[in-house]
Amino acid sequence: MQDQDKPAGLVRAVAGIDAAITARHHIAVREFFDDGTEHLSRFTIDPTLAGLERLSQRLAAIQAPLTAVVEPTSMTWLALALAVERAGGQMEMIGARHSARLREAIMGKNKSDVIDSEVLTHAGEIFDPPPLVLASPGQLALRRAVVRRAGAVIDGNRYWRRLLSLARWAFPDLWTAFAGSESTALAVLGRWPTSDLWHPRARQP
Protein backbone atom coordinates (compact mmCIF):
# COMPACT_ATOMS: atom_id res chain seq x y z
CA MET A 1 0.00 0.00 0.00
CA GLN A 2 1.43 3.36 -1.01
CA ASP A 3 2.27 5.75 1.80
CA GLN A 4 0.02 8.80 1.42
CA ASP A 5 2.39 10.89 3.53
CA LYS A 6 5.36 10.25 1.28
CA PRO A 7 6.56 13.55 -0.24
CA ALA A 8 6.41 13.96 -3.97
CA GLY A 9 9.64 13.22 -5.77
CA LEU A 10 11.34 15.69 -8.05
CA VAL A 11 11.35 14.40 -11.65
CA ARG A 12 13.00 17.16 -13.65
CA ALA A 13 13.65 20.89 -13.70
CA VAL A 14 13.78 23.61 -16.33
CA ALA A 15 15.60 26.90 -15.83
CA GLY A 16 14.74 29.91 -17.96
CA ILE A 17 17.60 32.42 -18.06
CA ASP A 18 16.94 35.96 -19.24
CA ALA A 19 20.51 36.93 -20.02
CA ALA A 20 21.74 40.51 -19.72
CA ILE A 21 24.95 42.20 -20.81
CA THR A 22 25.61 44.54 -17.89
CA ALA A 23 22.47 44.15 -15.76
CA ARG A 24 21.65 41.19 -13.52
CA HIS A 25 20.59 37.89 -15.06
CA HIS A 26 17.05 36.82 -14.16
CA ILE A 27 16.54 33.08 -13.65
CA ALA A 28 13.27 31.20 -13.21
CA VAL A 29 13.43 27.53 -12.19
CA ARG A 30 10.37 25.34 -12.75
CA GLU A 31 10.52 22.01 -10.90
CA PHE A 32 8.24 19.11 -11.88
CA PHE A 33 7.24 16.45 -9.33
CA ASP A 34 5.96 12.90 -9.85
CA ASP A 35 2.52 13.76 -8.47
CA GLY A 36 1.94 16.26 -11.30
CA THR A 37 2.62 19.38 -9.27
CA GLU A 38 5.07 22.14 -10.16
CA HIS A 39 7.09 24.64 -8.18
CA LEU A 40 8.44 27.91 -9.58
CA SER A 41 11.27 29.85 -7.99
CA ARG A 42 13.12 32.95 -9.14
CA PHE A 43 16.44 34.57 -8.37
CA THR A 44 18.96 36.94 -9.95
CA ILE A 45 22.73 36.87 -10.30
CA ASP A 46 25.36 39.41 -11.24
CA PRO A 47 27.05 39.09 -14.67
CA THR A 48 30.37 38.40 -12.97
CA LEU A 49 32.51 35.35 -12.22
CA ALA A 50 31.14 35.30 -8.68
CA GLY A 51 27.59 35.48 -10.06
CA LEU A 52 28.20 32.61 -12.45
CA GLU A 53 29.65 30.55 -9.62
CA ARG A 54 26.52 31.24 -7.58
CA LEU A 55 24.38 30.15 -10.53
CA SER A 56 26.28 26.86 -10.78
CA GLN A 57 25.83 26.23 -7.06
CA ARG A 58 22.09 26.97 -7.15
CA LEU A 59 21.49 24.72 -10.15
CA ALA A 60 23.75 21.93 -8.83
CA ALA A 61 21.58 21.73 -5.72
CA ILE A 62 18.64 20.55 -7.84
CA GLN A 63 18.60 16.77 -7.51
CA ALA A 64 17.01 16.03 -10.87
CA PRO A 65 17.84 16.25 -14.60
CA LEU A 66 18.16 19.94 -15.40
CA THR A 67 17.64 21.78 -18.69
CA ALA A 68 18.34 25.50 -19.04
CA VAL A 69 16.96 27.65 -21.85
CA VAL A 70 18.51 30.95 -22.92
CA GLU A 71 18.28 33.44 -25.77
CA PRO A 72 21.37 34.33 -27.84
CA THR A 73 21.99 37.70 -26.13
CA SER A 74 25.33 38.89 -27.52
CA MET A 75 27.96 36.41 -26.26
CA THR A 76 26.55 36.31 -22.72
CA TRP A 77 25.08 32.87 -23.37
CA LEU A 78 28.58 31.36 -23.57
CA ALA A 79 29.48 32.00 -19.94
CA LEU A 80 26.00 30.93 -18.84
CA ALA A 81 26.31 27.68 -20.79
CA LEU A 82 29.59 26.89 -19.03
CA ALA A 83 27.98 27.62 -15.66
CA VAL A 84 25.08 25.29 -16.47
CA GLU A 85 27.45 22.55 -17.60
CA ARG A 86 29.42 22.84 -14.34
CA ALA A 87 26.13 22.29 -12.50
CA GLY A 88 25.53 19.09 -14.47
CA GLY A 89 22.76 20.53 -16.62
CA GLN A 90 22.19 20.86 -20.35
CA MET A 91 21.82 24.23 -22.06
CA GLU A 92 19.39 24.85 -24.92
CA MET A 93 19.05 28.01 -27.00
CA ILE A 94 15.96 29.50 -28.58
CA GLY A 95 15.84 32.42 -31.00
CA ALA A 96 14.63 35.78 -29.72
CA ARG A 97 11.95 35.92 -32.42
CA HIS A 98 10.44 32.60 -31.30
CA SER A 99 10.55 33.48 -27.61
CA ALA A 100 8.90 36.84 -28.34
CA ARG A 101 6.01 35.08 -30.05
CA LEU A 102 5.74 32.62 -27.17
CA ARG A 103 5.74 35.47 -24.65
CA GLU A 104 3.00 37.27 -26.58
CA ALA A 105 0.90 34.10 -26.66
CA ILE A 106 1.29 33.54 -22.90
CA MET A 107 1.58 37.03 -21.43
CA GLY A 108 0.14 39.26 -24.15
CA LYS A 109 1.87 42.63 -24.44
CA ASN A 110 3.40 42.41 -20.97
CA LYS A 111 7.19 42.27 -20.94
CA SER A 112 9.82 42.31 -18.23
CA ASP A 113 12.96 40.38 -17.30
CA VAL A 114 10.96 38.31 -14.80
CA ILE A 115 8.33 37.47 -17.42
CA ASP A 116 10.96 36.61 -20.05
CA SER A 117 12.75 34.18 -17.76
CA GLU A 118 9.50 32.45 -16.81
CA VAL A 119 8.38 32.21 -20.46
CA LEU A 120 11.65 30.48 -21.34
CA THR A 121 10.77 27.66 -18.93
CA HIS A 122 7.83 26.84 -21.23
CA ALA A 123 9.89 26.85 -24.45
CA GLY A 124 10.38 23.08 -24.44
CA GLU A 125 6.61 22.57 -24.34
CA ILE A 126 6.17 24.37 -27.66
CA PHE A 127 9.49 24.06 -29.47
CA ASP A 128 12.04 21.29 -29.66
CA PRO A 129 15.35 23.12 -29.26
CA PRO A 130 18.41 20.90 -29.70
CA PRO A 131 21.03 20.74 -26.95
CA LEU A 132 23.57 23.51 -27.25
CA VAL A 133 26.98 22.22 -28.37
CA LEU A 134 29.74 24.67 -27.53
CA ALA A 135 32.18 25.45 -30.32
CA SER A 136 35.91 25.23 -29.80
CA PRO A 137 37.80 28.37 -28.66
CA GLY A 138 39.31 28.68 -32.14
CA GLN A 139 35.89 28.63 -33.80
CA LEU A 140 34.53 31.21 -31.38
CA ALA A 141 37.56 33.46 -31.97
CA LEU A 142 37.15 33.14 -35.74
CA ARG A 143 33.46 33.98 -35.51
CA ARG A 144 34.19 37.05 -33.41
CA ALA A 145 36.91 38.18 -35.84
CA VAL A 146 34.55 37.80 -38.81
CA VAL A 147 31.84 39.81 -37.06
CA ARG A 148 34.29 42.57 -36.19
CA ARG A 149 35.71 42.65 -39.70
CA ALA A 150 32.20 42.94 -41.15
CA GLY A 151 31.49 45.84 -38.81
CA ALA A 152 34.74 47.57 -39.82
CA VAL A 153 33.92 47.19 -43.53
CA ILE A 154 30.43 48.60 -43.02
CA ASP A 155 31.77 51.54 -40.99
CA GLY A 156 34.46 52.29 -43.57
CA ASN A 157 31.93 52.26 -46.39
CA ARG A 158 29.62 54.53 -44.39
CA TYR A 159 32.42 57.06 -43.73
CA TRP A 160 33.50 57.02 -47.37
CA ARG A 161 30.00 57.72 -48.61
CA ARG A 162 29.65 60.50 -46.07
CA LEU A 163 32.90 62.04 -47.29
CA LEU A 164 31.77 61.92 -50.91
CA SER A 165 28.46 63.47 -49.96
CA LEU A 166 30.21 66.36 -48.22
CA ALA A 167 32.59 66.79 -51.16
CA ARG A 168 29.68 66.98 -53.59
CA TRP A 169 28.14 69.70 -51.42
CA ALA A 170 31.37 71.65 -50.72
CA PHE A 171 32.68 71.99 -54.29
CA PRO A 172 29.95 71.12 -56.80
CA ASP A 173 31.86 72.52 -59.82
CA LEU A 174 34.91 70.39 -59.13
CA TRP A 175 32.71 67.40 -58.39
CA THR A 176 31.05 67.84 -61.78
CA ALA A 177 34.50 67.74 -63.36
CA PHE A 178 35.10 64.40 -61.64
CA ALA A 179 32.17 63.04 -63.67
CA GLY A 180 31.30 60.66 -60.86
CA SER A 181 34.70 58.96 -60.95
CA GLU A 182 35.71 57.83 -57.47
CA SER A 183 39.28 57.19 -58.66
CA THR A 184 39.61 60.80 -59.81
CA ALA A 185 38.10 62.04 -56.57
CA LEU A 186 40.58 59.99 -54.54
CA ALA A 187 43.50 61.26 -56.61
CA VAL A 188 42.48 64.91 -56.28
CA LEU A 189 41.57 64.70 -52.61
CA GLY A 190 44.82 62.94 -51.85
CA ARG A 191 46.97 65.52 -53.67
CA TRP A 192 45.09 68.62 -52.51
CA PRO A 193 43.62 67.79 -49.12
CA THR A 194 42.52 71.37 -48.33
CA SER A 195 39.77 73.19 -50.20
CA ASP A 196 41.74 76.49 -50.08
CA LEU A 197 43.87 75.25 -52.96
CA TRP A 198 40.78 74.89 -55.15
CA HIS A 199 39.80 78.53 -54.89
CA PRO A 200 40.46 80.45 -58.15
CA ARG A 201 42.59 83.06 -56.35
CA ALA A 202 44.77 80.34 -54.86
CA ARG A 203 45.85 79.25 -58.36
CA GLN A 204 46.91 82.76 -59.43
CA PRO A 205 50.68 83.31 -59.72
Task: Collapse the DSSP code of 4 into the 3-class scheme (helix H, G, I; strand E, B; otherwise coil) and give the result.
Answer: coil
From CA 150, how far away is CA 153, in angstroms rounded? Answer: 5
Answer yes or no: are the C-beta atoms of 31 and 64 closer than 8 Å: yes
The residues, ordered by sequence, that sit 6+ positions from 38 with a Cβ below 8 Å of its Cβ are 30, 31, 32
Per-residue pLDDT of the chain (205 residues), as tens digits, is 445 566 778 888 988 888 888 888 889 998 888 888 888 889 998 988 898 899 999 999 988 888 888 887 777 888 888 899 888 888 888 876 666 666 666 665 656 667 778 778 877 777 777 777 776 777 778 878 888 898 899 988 888 888 778 777 777 777 777 776 777 777 776 776 565 555 555 445 5
pTM beyond 0.75: no
Q: In terms of DSSP bridges, do strands 90-93 and 66-70 run parallel, antiparallel, or are they unpaired? A: parallel
Answer yes or no: are the C-beta atoms of 43 and 96 closer than 8 Å: no
From CA 82, how far away is CA 202, in angstroms rounded? Answer: 66
